[in-house]
Amino acid sequence: MTEFDRIIPREETASVKYDGRTGYFGKADVIPLWVADMDFAVPEAVSTALARRAAHPVFGYTLATDGVLQSLIDWQEHRHGWRIEREWIILCPGVVPALHAAVLALSEPGAGVLVQPPVYFPFFSAVTTCGRRLLENQLLLDDGRYAMDYADLEQHAQAGASLLILCSPHNPVGRVWDADELARVLEIADRYGMTVLSDEIHADLVYPGYRNRSLGHLAGNADNIVTAVAPSKTFNIPGLGLSALVVPCPQRRQKLREAFGQLHMTASNPFSLVAFEAAYREGGPWLDRLLAYLAQTRDFVRDFLRTRLPAIHLIEPEGTYLLWMDCRKLGLTDAELQHFFVHEAGVGMNPGTVFGRGGSGFMRMNIGAPRSLIAKALEQIDSAARRRGLSTQEGAY
C-alpha cells in the first residue's frame, strides 16, 4: 500500500468536489471523479511549511520573497531545462484569473481570440466575458489521437486573430504536444504577428515516454509568448490560488501589470506563497512517486475498459490525471449519457459537452484518487451496463 492508496475523507470540508456534488449532479450519492483536484495528501514539506506559518498569529499583507521567485526559477530549469529570469515573473491569484487578465492585456476589445476545443471550459469565458470575439480551431481526432488543424489555425491567424490560448499539455484530451507540433504553432504565430498564451498548468504531469516542452523555451523566450504555470495541479494545492505568468517581453509585462491593477488582483496570501515555495523546493520526489502511481491507474482503467467495457474507448493520455473517454458507441444522447453515469452507475464525471465543440459523446474522468475508488467506480459502471442488459462486446451498445 502506498501513500496514494490512503482514503482521506473530504466530506464536510467545503470541498467543491465532494460537498458540491448535489448542486452539480442533483444528488450526493455519486463517486466524485470530476473537479480537477486530487484526493491525495500534499507533500509533507508543504503541510509542514503551512503549519509553521499558521503558528504565527498575524496574517497581514504579504510580500513574495526572493525565495518564492527563485523556487520557480530553479524548478523550471531543473525540471524542464528552461532558464527564466526573475523580472519575467508575475505572480497571479490562480490560472483562471490570469487567463482573464491576459486576454484583457494582450488583445483589444472586439479582437478575435482563438481556443482549441474540446478544451478546458474557462478558456471560452475568458474570451467572451472580456468582450473579445471567440474563434475556434477545432482539434482533430485521428485514429484515437488528437492533433492540431494547422491549416485552419493559419487561416484564423491570417484573418487577424490576435491571440491564441494554447493548452499544453491539453485538458481534457491528454495530449503532450511535441517539439515539431509546437514549432508549427510558433511559425504561424510569428508569420502573422499573433500572441500565444500557453497554459502549462499540467506541464509537470507527464507520463513516462513523453516530455513536456515549454513553448516559451522553444521560442527562445520570444516577445509574443506568455506562459502560465502553477504548482496547483502538480502538488494538489489548487485551493490556495497562486500561479505565475512568465513574460519575457517588457511591454507585455507592463500591460499585464496594468490589467491586474485595474482588476485589483493581488497575490499576497501568506499561505499560498509559503506552499508555492515549499512545493517547488522540496516536492520533486513526491511528484515522481505520484506520476508512477497515476501511470499505473491509467493503465488499470485502460485494461478494465478493454476487457469489461470495450464500447467505452479511452483516448490514451500522455499527460494530466484526467482521462478523456469516448462513449459514443454506447449509442446514448449526451443527456442520456449523463443520466446513465450519474443516476444508474452512481459515478460523477464531467460531460464532454462542457468542453465545447467535439465533446459530444465523451466524458472526462479524474483519476487523481486512490485506485480502490477508481476500481469501485468502474465496477459500478459495468454493473449499470449489465442491469440495462447491455452486451460487453464492442459496438453492441
Whether residue 169 has pLDDT greater than 60: yes
* pLDDT value for 390: 62
3-state secondary structure of 245: strand
Is the peptide bond preceding residue 93 cis, with omega within 30 degrees of 0? no
Which segments of 20-88 does DSSP mark as H helices, in order?
A: 21-25, 44-54, 66-80
Question: Cis (ω within 30 of 0) for the bond into 57?
Answer: no
CATH 3.40.640.10 domain span(s) along the chain = 59-282
Instruction: Give CA–CA dist 250/103, Å, rounded.
Output: 17
Q: What is the mean pLDDT of residues 301-308?
A: 97
Cα–Cα distance measured from residue 64 to residue 166, given in angstroms and rounded to the nearest whole number: 27
As annotated, the residues of the chain forming the CATH 3.90.1150.10 domain(s) are: 3-43+284-387
DSSP secondary structure code for residue 41 in this structure: P
pLDDT band at 389 (very low <50, low <70, confident <90, very high): confident
- pLDDT exceeds 80 at position 391: no
CATH for 3-43+284-387 is: 3.90.1150.10
Predicted structure pTM score:
0.96
Please check the confidence at residue 397 and state whether its pLDDT lies above 50. no
Residue 395 has pLDDT above 70, yes or no: no
Strands 243-246 and 145-147: unpaired
- pLDDT, position 98: 95
pLDDT surpassing 70 at residue 216: yes
Topology of the domain covering 59-282: Aspartate Aminotransferase; domain 2 (3.40.640)
Residue that has been written with the C-alpha cell 491567424 in this structure: 157
Task: Taking the CA atoms of 71, 75, 76 and 78 in sequence, report the sign of the dihedral they define.
Answer: positive
Average pLDDT over residues 149-174: 98
Helix (DSSP H) and strand (DSSP E) numbers for the chain? 15, 15
For the chain, the average pLDDT equals 96
Percent of the chain with pLDDT over 70: 98
Q: What pLDDT digit, counting tens, does each position of 39-88 carry?
A: 999 999 999 999 999 999 999 999 999 999 999 999 999 999 999 999 99
Res 291: pLDDT = 98
76 neighbors 229 (Cβ within 8 angstroms): yes
The pLDDT value given to residue 290: 98
Of the chain, the percentage scoring pLDDT greater than 90 comes to 96
- Decide if pLDDT at 205 tops 80: yes
Instruction: Give the model's pLDDT for residue 32.
Output: 98
Q: Which of residues 267 and 282 earns the better pLDDT score?
A: 282
